[in-house]
């Protein structure tokens, strides 16, 4: 039997390879001690400020790698629509996956740029709710492919567990402040000036999405993997329905 979704599967496979590349680049970034603990004095408050600080730039390729992933996953869905149309004897000019067609448009039987996709397959696609207020994962994919913001992915650090102070000879306070994206740092403790602070401090370093709706502040790898899994689910459902109604043979 012909593999009608060969192009879609290739795009998903390429996206997975790029996700693996992102993981390797990220691991190397973390292991290079890119974020370190520093101490700065706040003379006005008569305190030493203990911070996590980014001291090395985030690898430039990470932004491009992330967009390669989402572009290929978006393409996988459009390839599937085109394959359906061609197998059904259509030209495939209007066989796009129905991103953004909301429930109100669906009720009015408006398929927009998906009219070359047979109704049964369109209904399967639409059942995944690829619009705002529906399937957040698929809508995030659409939003990421259409964004042109400069701050796409950014490094950050979070406190990931309880801090254990093992040595201190004065007053101190532990702080769980948010990551400052302008200064690329995060304050986690304040002490009296000149007092030594030692302990076990647990932090999690992540690469997160910047100022983009639906994924703002979310770890990039987590989002990319979730989108990939969802796209594979959609493709499986499309293929099953196309076989059931005889479009794919």
Lookup: tokens for 44 = 């006005």
Q: Report the pLDDT value the prediction gives residue 146, as an integer from 0 to 100.
A: 83
Provide the percentage of residues in the chain whose pLDDT is more than 90. 42
Structural tokens at position 129: 């709710």
| pLDDT for residue 21 is more than 90 | yes
* Residue 137 lies inside a defined structural domain of this protein: yes
Q: Residue 1 falls within a domain, yes or no?
A: no
Q: Which domain holds residue 236?
A: 6-242
Domain membership of residue 247 (yes or no) is no
DSSP track, the chain: ---TTHHHHHHHHHHHHHHHHHHHHHHHHHHTT-EEEEEEEETTTTEEEEEEEE-SPPPTHHHHHHHHHHHHHHHHHHHHHHHHHHHTT---TT----TT--HHHHHTT--GGGTTS-HHHHHHHHTT--STTS-HHHHHHHHHHH---S--EEEEEEE-S--EEEEESS-EEE--PPPBTTTTEEEEEEEETT--EEEE--EEEEEEE-S-TTTTT-BHHHHHHHHHHHHHHHHHHHHHHHHHTTS--
pLDDT at site 107: 45
Asked if residue 133 is part of any domain, the answer here is yes
On whether residue 248 sits in a domain, the answer given is: no
- Encode pLDDT of 71-102 as tens digits: 999 999 999 999 999 999 999 999 999 987 66
As for how many domains the chain has, the answer is 1
Asked whether residue 25 is assigned to any structural domain, the reply reads: yes
Res. 177 pLDDT band, cuts 50 70 90: confident
Output the pTM of the full model. 0.84
Residue 83 lies in a domain: yes
Q: Is residue 136 in some structural domain?
A: yes
pLDDT at 160 over 60: no
**Predicted confidence (pLDDT) per residue in 197-232, tens digit:** 776 667 778 888 887 778 888 889 999 999 999 999
């Amino acid at each position: 039997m012909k593999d009608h979704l060969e192009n879609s599967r290739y795009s998903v496979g390429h996206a997975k390879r790029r996700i693996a590349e992102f993981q390797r680049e990220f691991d190397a970034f973390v292991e290079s001690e890119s974020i370190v603990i520093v101490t700065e004095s706040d003379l006005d408050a008569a305190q030493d400020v203990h911070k996590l600080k980014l001291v090395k730039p985030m690898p430039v390729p990470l932004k491009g790698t992330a967009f390669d992933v989402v572009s290929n996953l978006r393409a996988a869905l459009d390839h599937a629509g085109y394959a359906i149309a061609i197998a059904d004897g259509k030209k495939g000019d209007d066989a796009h996956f129905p991103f953004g067609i909301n429930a109100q448009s669906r009720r009015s039987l408006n398929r927009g740029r998906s009219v070359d996709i047979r109704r049964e397959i369109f209904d399967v696609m639409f059942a995944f709710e690829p619009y705002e207020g529906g399937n957040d994962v698929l809508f995030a994919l659409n939003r990421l492919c259409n964004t042109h913001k400069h701050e796409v992915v950014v490094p950050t650090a979070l406190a990931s567990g309880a801090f254990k102070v093992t040595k201190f000879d004065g007053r101190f306070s532990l702080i769980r402040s948010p990551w400052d994206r302008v200064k690329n740092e995060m304050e986690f403790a304040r002490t009296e000036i000149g007092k030594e602070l030692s302990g076990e401090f647990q932090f999690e370093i992540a690469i997160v999405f910047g100022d983009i709706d639906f994924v703002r502040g979310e770890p990039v790898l987590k989002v990319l993997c979730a989108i990939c899994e969802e796209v594979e689910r959609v493709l499986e459902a499309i293929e099953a329905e196309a076989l059931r109604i005889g479009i794919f043979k």
